[in-house]
Amino acid sequence: MSYQNTRIAETAELLKARLAGLDNKPDIMRSVELKALFDELKHLPADKKAQFGQEVNQLRQELTTLAKAGQDEQESLPPIDITAPFDVNVSQADRPQLLPSETGSKHPLMTELETVLDIFYRMGFTAVESREIDDDFHMFGSLNFPEDHPARDDYDTFMTTQKDKNGKPYIAPAHTSTMQHRVLTKHKANLDKGRPIAAVIPGRVFRNEDLDARHEHTFYQLEGVFVGKGINAGNLIATLKTFLQEYYGKELDVMTQPFYFPFTEPSFEFALSCPFCDKKGCHICSQTGWIELLGCGMIHPNVLKEAGIDPEVYTGFAWGGGIERLVMMKYGIEDIRHFESGKLDFLRQFS
């Protein structure tokens, strides 16, 4: 479209060039240059008004058409549905590109957990995943914690305001032992077939603790349960020692000391000789040569009975310990809070 009036022709060129760069095309209709032409029209003498007015209106019409066409073109681009099912017919090059995998890495805890579980698989254990919300019965009742037992307060549990069918608050598990009753109940048919119950249970646990280099509110535990005929504390110690020697790749000594848990009898605190200094004493073991690692014991007869297993016929052991502790010792990590911190400079050391 051509314009006789030079000012209108120049303004047309200017505005058409600007239109190409606009995200919202209709904005061109509000440009000061176009408005100036209409202002000018009002003040023209009558003999010049007609032609000038016709060309200004022509320009407005042209810009309106161009703006609408440009906007339609923008809006007609197909929206990308990121939830669309994967189309196998689309060639690799035309598929949406995800972030390259080399910019991410597996969290060191998950890598180590795989190593830990692999050792237990080879020892004949099966793995059962824990859960992140549970009830009072599995946290306490099924584990021989009587109502109002003071040991219930030792765990600094997080509880929900919502109540279960027994009127008890739900619990963010403070230990993976919440799974013991389920594992015993689910696998007790093994015993009738002459096979043991042998399970390890990794899971996230939560405690309302004051945080420092050794205490986190959220961490991972590995629970172990083994039940069969004639199982004794010697089997417990041998199992843990075999696992630890495999994990650290060296000969280690272990030591147990009497302890108290409601769900095991007898109960032990389990320590291993420091893998760093071979009992000579170093900063990792606080110069003692030993590292207290986990709690364990022979499963209390009441816990077996609660799961419908006859404690006169079968016995078993259980343990539970923090996975972070194991990993911290393996790599000399000084602060447990690194694991949940999301600090890339920490995580990249393991990728």
User: In this chain, which stretch among 56-64, 135-143, 164-172, 284-292 interacts with Zn ion, using CB under 5 A?
Assistant: 284-292
200 binds Zn ion (CB under 5 A): no
**CA 211, 212, 217: angle at the middle one, nearest 5?**
30
Residue 290 CB coordination number (10 Å):
17
Contact 308, 275 (CB under 8 A): no
Inter-axis angle of helices 108-122 and 233-248, nearest 10: 130
274 binds Zn ion (CB under 5 A): yes
201 binds Zn ion (CB under 5 A): no
User: In this chain, which stretch among 155-163, 209-217, 221-229, 266-274 interacts with Zn ion, using CB under 5 A?
Assistant: 266-274
Q: How many residues bind Zn ion (CB under 5 A)?
A: 6
CB of 288 to Zn ion, least distance (A): 8
282 binds Zn ion (CB under 5 A): yes
User: In this chain, which stretch among 97-105, 144-152, 216-224, 276-284 interacts with Zn ion, using CB under 5 A?
Assistant: 276-284
CB of 331 to Zn ion, least distance (A): 15
276 binds Zn ion (CB under 5 A): yes
Where are the alpha helices (H) located in the chain, listed in sequence order?
6-20, 32-42, 46-75, 108-122, 136-139, 180-187, 189-192, 233-248, 301-306, 323-331, 338-341, 344-347
Nearer to Zn ion (CB atom), residue 117 or residue 277: 277
Binding mask 158-177 for Zn ion (x = CB under 5 A): --------------------
Nearer to Zn ion (CB atom), residue 248 or residue 260: 248
What does the DSSP assignment read for 7-38?
HHHHHHHHHHHHHHT-SSGGGGGG-HHHHHHH
CB of 222 to Zn ion, least distance (A): 22
The span from the first CA to the last CA of the chain, in angstroms, equals 63
307 binds Zn ion (CB under 5 A): no
143 binds Zn ion (CB under 5 A): no
CB of 156 to Zn ion, least distance (A): 29
Rounded CA separation 293/326 (Å)? 8
285 binds Zn ion (CB under 5 A): yes
Nearer to Zn ion (CB atom), residue 244 or residue 307: 244
CB of 214 to Zn ion, least distance (A): 16
Residues with Cβ < 8 Å from 18, sequence gap 6 or more? 28, 31
293 binds Zn ion (CB under 5 A): no
Q: How far is CA 141 from the centre of its chain?
A: 29
CB of 150 to Zn ion, least distance (A): 34
Phi first, then psi, for residue 272 (nearest 5°) are: -125, 155
277 binds Zn ion (CB under 5 A): yes
CB of 269 to Zn ion, least distance (A): 18
Nearer to Zn ion (CB atom), residue 276 or residue 346: 276
Nearer to Zn ion (CB atom), residue 143 or residue 274: 274
Looking from the CA of 276 toward its CB, the CA atoms found within 13 Å total 18
Q: How far is CA 136 from the centre of its chain?
A: 24
Nearest partner of 240 among 264, 261, 271, 197, judged by Cα = 271
CB of 278 to Zn ion, least distance (A): 8
Where are the alpha helices (H) located in 165-275, listed in sequence order?
180-187, 189-192, 233-248
Interface residues with Zn ion (CB under 5 A)?
274, 276-277, 282, 284-285
